[in-house]
Amino acid sequence: MLLKNIKMKNICLSAILGIALFSSCSKEVEDIQYTPNVKIQFAQGGDSSIVTVPKGTAEFPVKIDVSASGPIVRMFEIYNADAKTGNRGSLIAGTQEAFSSPKNSHTASFNVTGLTENRCIKIVVTDTLERVYEKNLFIRITPSVVFSNSVKIETVENYYGPYFATWLSGRVYMRNTQYASEIDWSLGDVVIPSVGTSPVAALVNPSLRGSNNLLTAPGLQNTKYSLTAMTVAEYSAITNVNAAAITALADPTQDIVQVLAGKIYLFKAANGKKGLIHVSAVTAKTGTIENVSGEWKPATAYSELTLSSKTMLP
C-alpha cells in the first residue's frame, strides 16, 4: 500500500512538472528590437548597399549620409574593403574627419576611381563613447572580360577531366557531365605530325574528339585555337573592363594545337566566346586510364596542366 501511494505521488509530480514545462515552452518568444544610435546610408544601392555600374564605367561617385540619435558623431572615415569578404583594408587618404564638436549628422561625397574590377569601400563612424559603426558599399562592374580561377585539368579522364567551361570562374569536367553544352574547349593527347610521332598534350576541338581517337560526349561544340605571341606580362595586364588585347587578335583556325608551359593560346568557340588561355604548368603523369574501346590501360602516360583563362563574352 505504501509502495502504491509513492507511485501515485510520483505520477502526480511528473504530471505537474510536464504541465509546467509545456506552459513554459508555449510562451511566445519576445523579439528584442535594436535601433542603433548611428545610421549610415548611401544615396545609391538602397538597403542592399550593392550597385552595378554599366560596362565601361571607370569611376563612380558615392554620397554618404550619417544620422545619429544626438550629437555623438566624433569621427568619420572611409576604408578600402575586400571585394569578396568585405573585410576592412587600408584607410583611404584624405577621408578621415575628426569633429571637435560632435555632430548629430554628417554628409560626405567620395569618387571611386580606376574601376577595372569589383570594388568595395567601408564607411566607419566612431561616436563619443568610442563605439564603432560600419557599413560597406559594393560596386559591381559589368565586365567586358571574365576571368577564370587557376585550375587543374588533364588530357585524359582521371581526377579532373579534359573539358573546360569558362562559366562560374572556370570549371573542369569529365565527359559524363550534364553541362556538355557549356564546354568551351578541351584537351587530349594526340599525334601532331609537325611535332613528332608520339602523342603530345594539345588543345583539341571538342566536336572532333572522336575522330582524334579520344573519349567524347554528345553535344560538344566546335572550337578553334591558335598559339599567340603574347607574353605572360601582357596577359596579366588585361583587365575586366578592356577587351582590346583580345579583339585585336585574328580569329583562330586550328583544330589541334600543342600546349606548352608559359604560353598563351587563343580560342574561339561556336557559341561566340573568344578568349585567352594561359598555361602555367604542364606535368607528366601516369595512371590507369580508359581508352576509346572501353579498356582500362595501366601505366598510361598523360599530362596534368595548370591554367587560367580570360574570355571576352559574345
Angle at Cα 204 formed by Cα 277 and Cα 182, nearest 5°?
70
Is residue 59 predicted with pLDDT exceeding 60?
Answer: yes
Please, where in the chain does CATH 2.60.40.1930 lie? Answer: 38-140
User: Within 10 A of 60 (CB to CB), how many other CB atoms are there?
Assistant: 17
CB contact at 8 A, 302 and 154: yes
**Does the reported pTM lie above 0.85?**
no
Query: What is the Cα–Cα distance from 192 to 150, expressed in whole angstroms?
Result: 27
State residue 267 phi and psi, 5-degree precision.
-130, 155
Provide the grid cell at 180.
Answer: 556538355
pLDDT digits (tens, 9 = 90+) for 159-170: 999 999 999 999
Whether domain 38-140 has CATH 2.60.40.1930: the reply is yes
Instruction: Output the nine-digit C-alpha cell for 133.
Output: 559603426
Round to whole Å and give the CA distance between 38 and 301: 64
- pLDDT tens column, 70-96: 999 999 999 999 999 999 999 999 999
Query: What is the helix (H) or strand (E) element at residue 151, kind and residue range?
Result: strand 151-154
What pLDDT sits at residue 3?
Answer: 44
